[in-house]
Each structure stands twice: as structure tokens, then as C-alpha cells.
Structure 1
């Protein structure tokens, strides 16, 4: 399953980028310029990436030997802006070198 780690890192990166774009670019455009198409455009890919992030976290958690606390930190980070970048730096980067 550690072969999935590079895939998880890519999904985490893309999920984080899509969340930031949705939260800090598309949503303000929607409300300030009354242009909801950007939220619609970014919403579906972000949702798919979010679900993929959660599924991948569940799949690799045992191989990564995460404690229950670490597993929940990884999951909660997916709903925080910049959270997935922190997870990549703190928990995934070192494991991919080993």
C-alpha cells in the first residue's frame, strides 16, 4: 500500500489547491461580482478530490502506522485551508523518502 503514498501526496496537493481557489477566489467572485459560474466550475472537482483524499487516507493509514490521533489530524486537515499542505510536510514527506 505504500505504493499509494505518491498518489495520496498528489491528491492532497490538488485538494488543497482546489480548496484555496474555491474559498479565496471563486467564492468572493460569486458574491462581489455576482458570478456563480466559478464556484460551479471548481466545486465538483474539489468535491471529488476531497472524497479521494479521505478514501486514500483510510487506505494508507494502517501501512503508515498512524495512531488514531494522527489519522484524525490528517482527516481534519482536509477541511482547513492549507491543511493538506501541512499534512504533506509533517506526515507524508518524510515517509516517502524512507
Structure 2
């Protein structure tokens, strides 16, 4: 797996894990329900999953920054993107479009 693919995969997984954690918290604290008979409403499982993926995102971001020689400002922005929900995906899309994840190959529509 190359660095670009690894970063993109972890960034998207981090956004998805945010959604799962927020959903579990909504069920537990707003709906006061216990889906699937889970006493805590799935928050511990979703929280642990998100925590592990969050740490993976931080490590992957630092490795990616070193490999692609990102400026410190870009690296800090990528790390800060892990705080608000879903911003890792937004950062990944913008970084890919700007070529921060390596050269992308343009596909020509004409043959």
C-alpha cells in the first residue's frame, strides 16, 4: 500500500468512526435507548474504535508529512482536521487536489 492510499484510507476511516461515535452518543444520551441490548448504547465500542483510528490518523499524518515534505503549517492543519467531525475527509480531498499526496494522474476524456 502506498503512502497516498494509506493516508486516504485512514482519513476516511477516521471520519466514519466519528459518525459511529456521534450516532452511539445520540442514541445513549438523546434517545436514551439501548440498541442491541447494549447497556451503554455502544458508546464504549464506538469510542474505542474512534480512539484507535484517531491515533492511526495522527501517526499516518506525520509519516505522510515527512514523506511528501509538507510545510509545518500544512502538517498542523492536517492534524487539526482530526478534531472537528469529518474534517479529515475534507482535508484529504483538498490535499489530493492540491497535489500534497503525490502526483495524481489526469485521465484524458479524449482518445
For the superposition of Structure 1 and Structure 2, which TM-score range results when normalised by the shorter chain?
Answer: 0.7 to 0.9
Q: Which has the higher helix share?
A: 1
Deviation of 1:4 (Å): 2.0
Match of 2:24 in 1: 26
Match of 1:3 in 2: 2
Give me the TM-score of the superposition, normalised by structure 1.
0.85
In 2, the alpha carbon distance for the partners of 1:20 and 1:77 equals 15
Answering whether residue 66 of structure 2 is matched by residue 67 of structure 1, we say no
Number of equivalent positions: 96
Unaligned runs of 5+ in 1: none
Deviations 1:3-46 (A, max 9, x none): 222012101101111112212x1111111215423111211111
In 2, the alpha carbon distance for the partners of 1:64 and 1:87 equals 15
More RCO (CA 8 Å, sep 6+): 1
Match of 1:84 in 2: 88
Q: Which has the larger radius of gyration?
A: 2
In 1, the alpha carbon distance for the partners of 2:61 and 2:96 equals 11
In 1, the alpha carbon distance for the partners of 2:4 and 2:68 equals 9
Answering whether residue 50 of structure 2 is matched by residue 51 of structure 1, we say no
Unaligned runs of 5+ in 2: 35-39, 106-111
